[in-house]
Structure 1
Amino acid sequence: MDAVQVALILFLIVGFLLVIGTPISVAIGVGSVVAMASILDLDKSLLTSTQRIFTGINTFSLLAIPFFILAGVIMNNGGIAIRLVNCAKVLTGRLPGSLAHTNVVANMLFGSISGSAVASSAAVGGTMAPLQEREGYKREFSAAVNIASAPAGMLIPPSNTLIVYALVSGGTSIAALFMAGYVPGLLWGLGCMVVAYFIAKKHGYKSDQKITFLQGLRVFLDAIPSLLLVVIVIGGIIRGIFTATEGSAIAVVYALLLSFIYRTIKIKDLPKILLDSTRTTAIVIFMIGVSSIMSWVMAFTNIPGMIAATLLSLSENPIMILLIMNLVLLVIGTFMDPTPAVLIFTPIFLPIAMNLGIDPVHFGIIIVFNLCIGTITPPVGPVLFVGSKVANLKIESVVKPLLPFYGITVIILLVVTFYPEISLAIPKLLGLVK
């Protein structure tokens, strides 16, 4: 059986299972095993699949993901969100629609610490929604701002999605990817603030009450311990004091100590926190394991090479090929979570990108940026669902206010795609890429 037939079996089965509502990890696993059985005996297929699952998750670097997830859950329960919101209010209080800008900045800060867009939209949105409603903000607008800005934290390190890309891309430097995500993540947040500014001016949303310098200083000092987490973890990774995995463990210890100091977490809360993080970790790790089966099938039958040849036959223009890949990733992101999408499409698109001379660090940012947009778009966007639920709104009522935010993020995506220095300037400055 040739590669085309195997590819059809693989993608048709996975697609069918997704359409009927099968969990993504199960769909990928079943489709991959059936496709493998079409080229090997069933016994060999099952044995090879089992080996691939264990091989795929038997990586020391992968330990960073459960630790960062646990750190995020601790921070979500540890009173850190409110301190970051207060700090953001100091920074944005003089702008029209200041509470909307506060939401954006707080999402960027909390997302950069927790590494989770869903956690940001829940924690920050839950804090900001009542404040904005009391000030006369339309709930749909408030929800749209919260949803649109939450994924910025998936680009600003530490980012679990970038760690997954580093593993599946053949060992791209996690430190380089982390540094490459800063400017695109900040641009995402600034783009949301620009849109929020014009909407706030149109509807007459006012700035926040002025505070004195001493009040602002007191709020900022209260937020410093929370902000120091990023400095300690990212600074230690960049300076080579510890690895990303060790840094994730330090993040857990630091977040836990901080929550105990704030007295927002008690010993009796730990079982629930551990259970919540274990559930999320199990989903991610199982996804990585079954995706390893799919990667083996695609590599064995040279499916990535076939897709690359097809893309290159459509056009030899690098700009057109990048636009096609962006379009595919944007569509994929609307119905697939970032982790499985990275695991599936990195082995397909990365060789094409490298043939075009694109740095793998830059391409990692392109992939993650595309998939971040997918988290806020229907029909499956997890941030869209959580943000709507926090605001007690139906998804349909939030999509229209989100349209200008979709527009600005796509524009920023194209700028990031075709100006690689936006991603690579900081890694080059630090000597992480050539």
Structure 2
Amino acid sequence: MDAFILLFTLAIMLAIGVPVAYAVGISAIIGAWYIDIPLEALMIQLTSGVNKFSLLAIPFFILAGAIMAEGGIARRLVNFAYIFVGFIRGGLSLVNIVASTFFGAISGSSVADTASIGSVMIPEMDKKGYPRDFAAAVTASGSVQAILTPPSHNSVIYSLATGGTVSIAALFIAGVLPGLLMSLTLMATCVAFAHKRGYPKGERVPFRQALKIFTDTLWGLMTVVIIMGGILSGIFTATESAAIACLWAFFVTMFIYKDYKWSELPKLMYRTVKTVTIVMILIGFAAAFGAIMTYMQLPARITEFFTSISDNKYVILMCINIMLLLIGTLMDMAPLILILTPVLLPVVVALGVDPVHFGMIMLVNLGIGLITPPVGSVLFVASAVSKQRIEQVVKGMLPFYGILFLILMLVTYVPALSLFLPKLFGVM
């Protein structure tokens, strides 16, 4: 009954439109009251939830991504990607995905990826004769890999939700192969569509112009080298790399590219602080909510429920995938990671699934939720940027849903995709 009160309250709060963070907090308070836990104990859990050094990575990565996104890096990455794939039939759709791959490795955000790359690529694809819904679908689906590859904010949140038992560095490196596989598979799909529908080819970029584009883009791409190179070499931690990446992004944007006005910086800082505040409030309330779930022994009950369904690891993983896909259509990614990780992680660990591997499974699942109606934040951004109705974008997305589901199955049932690189670099 106690678990029912907790979850029913959360469902009611969400149904009547209470913001997710506050819905989680109110549910935790009511749950604590029902099982007679002092509110002081709840506040201790809340404050300890945000009092973690590793959380500093989130504001720094968000700020670095915002600076680069508004400082002209998106346009430069599009030009850079055009050098490699622009001349192929359907090349602009490939440029879209390659640029998203690079940008995702700088911003770590699918929403920022869709907004920045989409604002450049969707009008350009429309001008060259690509259907606008197809352009929006390519942009949205291509941005999903941003939540897998470093510096993914959601990997940091998952690490926090595991109680710090999974390192951020391991998650960052684990996401590289699944992210690249996703990009390559989407590119192959776009090539197939291009030949079937007769999309145009582009022109090859002359060598001198390509060299100039590469030199110009290299400054921004160094952000990726700083993040990954520093972590893999052991020079600094993931949190320290976030701070250094932020300083580098500021230097490149304001002193090298000079596309961003100094007068706009206060507005950028305000938007970043606003975003970080929302995330931190959510993390604090989720920590309290997770503590109440533990007091109610909800994780143990869920584990018992899943193991009663089957003793086959693959069957249970499929059940979890289906559940995550369904819930991901109704709630945003960060709160789901914070709420569901403490519940599901004991289940999969009991089955012998590595926590890093499960992190990738969860990220791919909930990443698909970002582009799935009715509550897909990336889908809404793609619709706004492309000036298409949600229904039109979803129609264009249908083939890509199938491709992303295939990637999910590969990530789920081929653990080496997630675990090979972390083991190779000795971070797990």
**TM-score, normalization by structure 2:** 0.98
CA contact (8 A) 2:159 2:167 kept: yes
After superposition, give the CA deviation of every residue in 1:16-63 in whole Å (9 maximum; x if it has no partner). Answer: 11112111111111111101100116xx2x322222211100000001
Q: Distance in 2 between matches of 1:131 and 1:264?
A: 21
Which residue number corresponds to residue 7 of structure 2? 11
After superposition, give the CA deviation of every residue in 1:37-92 in whole Å (9 maximum; x if it has no partner). Answer: 00116xx2x32222221110000000100111111111111111111111111111
How far the C-alpha of 1:356 sits from its partner, in A, is: 1.0
Matched, 1:307 2:302: yes
Counterpart of 1:399, as a letter, is: V
How far the C-alpha of 1:94 sits from its partner, in A, is: 2.5
Q: Distance in 1 between matches of 2:70 and 2:321?
A: 36
Q: Distance in 2 between matches of 1:254 and 1:211?
A: 29
Counterpart of 2:10, as a letter, is: V
Q: Distance in 2 between matches of 1:210 and 1:72?
A: 30
**Pick aligned residue for 1:375 from 358, 370, 376:** 370
After superposition, give the CA deviation of every residue in 1:142-189 in whole Å (9 maximum; x if it has no partner). Answer: 011001111111101111100111111132111111110001011111
Identity score, percent? 45
Q: Distance in 2 between matches of 1:227 and 1:149?
A: 18
Report the secondary structure of 1:308's partner residue: helix
Report the secondary structure of 1:151's partner residue: helix
How far the C-alpha of 1:341 sits from its partner, in A, is: 0.7
CA contact (8 A) 2:68 2:220 kept: no
CA contact (8 A) 1:334 1:374 kept: yes
Which residue number corresponds to residue 365 of structure 1? 360
Which residue number corresponds to residue 291 of structure 1? 286
Which residue number corresponds to residue 161 of structure 2? 168
Once the two structures are superposed, the pairs formed by residues 406-421 of structure 1 within 5 Å of their partners are: 406-421=401-416
CA contact (8 A) 2:140 2:371 kept: yes
Gaps of 5+ in 1: none
**Pick aligned residue for 1:195 from 189, 208, 211:** 189
- Count residues in correspondence: 426
Gaps of 5+ in 2: none
Q: Distance in 2 between matches of 1:28 and 1:312?
A: 27
Counterpart of 1:23, as a letter, is: P
Which residue number corresponds to residue 417 of structure 2? 422
Q: Distance in 1 between matches of 2:16 and 2:189?
A: 37
Which residue number corresponds to residue 92 of structure 1? 85
Counterpart of 1:151, as a letter, is: V
Q: Distance in 2 between matches of 1:95 and 1:339?
A: 37
How far the C-alpha of 1:228 sits from its partner, in A, is: 1.0
Which residue number corresponds to residue 25 of structure 2? 29
Q: Distance in 2 between matches of 1:211 and 1:301?
A: 62
Q: Distance in 2 between matches of 1:281 and 1:159?
A: 14
Give the 4+ runs in structure 1 shifted more than 6 A: none
Once the two structures are superposed, the pairs formed by residues 226-305 of structure 1 within 5 Å of their partners are: 226-260=220-254, 261-305=256-300
Report the secondary structure of 2:87's partner residue: coil
Once the two structures are superposed, the pairs formed by residues 19-418 of structure 1 within 5 Å of their partners are: 19-40=15-36, 44=38, 46-171=39-164, 172-260=166-254, 261-418=256-413
Q: Distance in 2 between matches of 1:285 and 1:191?
A: 35
Counterpart of 2:18, as a letter, is: T
Q: Distance in 1 between matches of 2:237 and 2:41?
A: 31
Q: Distance in 2 between matches of 1:239 and 1:100?
A: 35
Q: Distance in 2 between matches of 1:210 and 1:382?
A: 35
